[in-house]
Chain A
């Protein structure tokens, strides 16, 4: 069983993000970067599938400048077997991300690709679906539970949908995107971290993969949300009702 898992480097969601003065991106000085939390869940799922099968390989792929190798190493420290770094200067838009991933998937020929349902930095939530379409593979998004058939031919995936869960069966190979409740990622142990330092990592340029990037999105401007106005403390329930009724007009 070969499992390809994608990880994206994103700003630590627990840190305060500030937009730079030019409005072209965020201030990266003193920022901490982590594996996109949904991708971390994807890595965990990959490891669990391999552990349950008792055989297989978990391959991590990340796209971006050389610093993304930190996130690949972090995934290797959790227990993944090897890494692939697709070396590009900046993070491509979802379509180009999917193109690069398609090339990697064709090269690696995995039984399954597991991705996060979205990256928490730009929140597009498109790459997984695009990748499946380009490969012509089945897809199961927002996964809540994943089970692989003994002969690796099918997967049964329970998905989070509005108001409940939906269970579908898909043919493998397929693309699965992880939702929040799929699992609780493990802690990388010290021995895991040390072992990760010597695990293999291949680096490819888009050209090595036969892909030419053609951006389809242009970032026009980034701005911070307006500051939240301070709250007030009401004296009585009547006052609260009055404000809800006449000021906020919600009841």
Chain B
């Protein structure tokens, strides 16, 4: 048994860290007191990262990606989390709005027309599954796509969609055959400007990024060539993608927790109260000891799951475990890090206050904590 991280990954991670510190840190510093960053600045950062070879690094080389496997991808995401670069976290390697593996299910033309421009940091997309009436129970979506004369007419409404305000196209999940259950759901690529497709309200959120919004479809007509892969495959594509998405969340949460702990320990050794550094007080020591232990646990789950996934094994249960544990752990660790900083923790000079807000969403997106536990239990009960 060998727990050592292969040298080439260590080297890549070192390069990545240097890139973050040198090229991206100045952007993060510039916007640290802002809630929202202009879209053009996000694109600028993506182009920088593309140039350095990191944007889309997890996609296959055939489509213009870097060909990095899941284990390497997870290591870089963890490093990104640890850097506490928050505003630009989805602009460095890519997120749901950028190069995303779900489009690999598309036809050659779709890969050419939609995926490659994403990888080249020229375009943005959004992933639109959630609806006002269907979140955790995504099978309950009501958005309908009815086939008429070889074309589909889409009607419905999506909300909470990341990147909705400026996506060049949306991947929209709609019911094509209500009698078939999950096999009656299909993914459609709908371009901005298609008649009948509009961006609705922009959501005001806890973080205030103005990056989330509604999508409205009213008799929006698209051709067959806009179906991602095959009709009826939408839900299966979405679930496959979400399994990887859960590992992504776990990796970023584990890294963020480490970054927050690093700051907290340094602070505790320097900050003096009642005549000595607060690190000398047991109340503080227990907080850092618990945090380090929990991070270690999250990392162990993360690495072994990522390794399994890289070997092509089924990790639906493990990735749910990794996600629920890491996202809840990060909440605890970042909360403690804030507490150790006292009033300073509440100030935007440090990234902790912002991180505290951002990490809260990790327990909701890509399936809530409850849904992760449901997934784990379901698999577990089947195993006995």
**Contact yes or no, B14 A194, CB < 8 A:** no
Question: Is the Cβ of B53 less than 8 Å from the Cβ of A193?
Answer: no
- On chain B, the number of residues with a Cβ less than 8 Å from chain A's Cβ atoms is 14
B19 proximal to A (CB < 8 A) = yes
Residues from chain A with Cβ under 8 Å of B4 in the complex: none
In whole Å, how far is A60's beta carbon from the nearest beta carbon of chain B? 14
Q: Are B19 and A194 in contact (CB under 8 A)?
A: no
- Is A187's CB under 8 angstroms from B18's CB? yes
Complex CA distance for A74 and B9, rounded to whole angstroms: 11
**Contact status B18-A190, CB under 8 Å:** no
The answer for the CA separation of A188 and B8 in the assembled complex, in Å, is: 11
**Partner of A188 from B11, B67, B68 at Cβ < 8 Å:** B11
Q: Does B57 contact A (CB under 8 A)?
A: yes
- Could you tell me if A193 and B18 are in contact, using CB atoms closer than 8 angstroms? no
Contact residues of B between 33 and 64, Cβ < 8 Å to A: 52-53, 57
Tell me if B12 counts as interface (CB < 8 A to partner A).
Answer: yes
Chain A residues 181 to 219 lying within 8 A of chain B, measured CB to CB, are: 187-191, 193-194, 196-197
Chain B: minimal CB distance from A15 (Å): 12
Does B66 touch A at the CB level, under 8 Å?
Answer: yes
* Interface of B: prevailing SS: helix
Which residues of chain A come closer than 8 Å to B18, judged between CB atoms? Answer: 187
Closest residue on chain B to residue A74 by CB atoms: B11
Find residues 16-42 in chain A having any chain B CB closer than 8 Å to their own CB. 34
Asked if A51 is at the interface (CB within 8 A of a chain B CB), the reply is no
Residue from B7, B15, B19, B68 in contact with A70 in the complex, judged by beta carbons closer than 8 Å: B7
Complex-state Cα separation, A74 to B12, whole angstroms = 9
Q: Within the complex, which residue of B7, B14, B19, B66 is in contact with A190, where a contact is CB–CB below 8 Å?
A: B66
Q: Which residues of A contact B14 (CB under 8 A)?
A: 34, 74
Task: For the A-B complex with A190-B53, A193-B12 known, give 15 more contacts whose Cβ atoms are closer than 8 Å.
Answer: A34-B14, A74-B11, A74-B14, A77-B11, A187-B15, A187-B19, A188-B12, A188-B15, A189-B66, A190-B12, A190-B57, A190-B66, A191-B67, A193-B8, A196-B8
Q: List 14 A-B contacts (CB under 8 A).
A: A34-B14, A70-B7, A73-B11, A74-B11, A77-B8, A77-B11, A187-B15, A187-B18, A187-B53, A188-B11, A189-B53, A193-B8, A193-B15, A197-B8
5 closest A-B pairs by CB: A189-B53, A187-B15, A190-B66, A193-B8, A188-B15
